[in-house]
Amino acid sequence: MSYTSQNDRYSSMKYNRCGNSGLKLPAISLGLWHNYGDVDAFENQRDMLRRAFDLGITHFDLANNYGPPPGSAEENFGRMVKGDFAAYRDEMVVSTKAGYTMWAGPYGDWGSKKYMTASLDQSLKRMGLDYVDIFYSHRPDPETPLEETMGALNLAVRQGKALYVGLSNYNAEQTRKASAILKALGTPCLIHQPKYSMFERGIENGLQDVLKADGIGSIAFSSLAKGLLTNRYLNGIPSDSRAAGSSPFLSAQAITDEVLSKIKHLNSMALERGQSLAQMAIAWVLREGRVTTALIGASRVSQIEDNVAALNNLAFSQEELLRIEEILK
Distance, CA of 179 to CA of 273 (rounded, Å): 39
Burial group, residue 193, by CB count within 10 angstroms (0-12, 13-18, 19+): buried
State the pLDDT at residue 225: 95
Report which residue type is found at 124: L
State the pLDDT at residue 280: 98
More confident call, 293 vs 251: 293
State the pLDDT at residue 237: 73
Instruction: Give the single-character DSSP code of 104.
Output: S
The per-residue pLDDT of the chain, averaged, comes to 95
Straight-line distance from the first to the last Cα atom of the chain, in angstroms, rounded to the nearest whole number: 51
48 pLDDT more than 80: yes
pTM for the structure as a whole: 0.95
SS3 at position 219: strand
pLDDT tens for residues 6-42? Answer: 999 999 999 999 999 999 999 999 999 999 999 999 9
Burial group, residue 92, by CB count within 10 angstroms (0-12, 13-18, 19+): middle
State the pLDDT at residue 247: 60
Distance, CA of 222 to CA of 97 (rounded, Å): 17
Distance, CA of 100 to CA of 130 (rounded, Å): 23
State the pLDDT at residue 233: 84
pLDDT tens for residues 224-269? Answer: 998 999 998 887 776 666 665 666 666 667 788 899 999 999 999 9
Q: Around Cβ 22, how many Cβ atoms within 10 Å?
A: 7
Domain ranges within the chain, ordered by starting residue: 15-235+285-313
CATH of domain 15-235+285-313: 3.20.20.100
pLDDT tens for residues 116-169? Answer: 999 999 999 999 999 999 999 999 999 999 999 999 999 999 999 999 999 999
Q: Around Cβ 82, how many Cβ atoms within 10 Å?
A: 12
State the pLDDT at residue 243: 64
pLDDT tens for residues 72-100? Answer: 999 999 999 999 999 999 999 999 999 99
- Backbone phi, then psi, for 18, in 5-degree steps? -90, 100
Where residue 99 falls (left for φ over 0; alpha for ψ -120 to 50; beta otherwise) is left
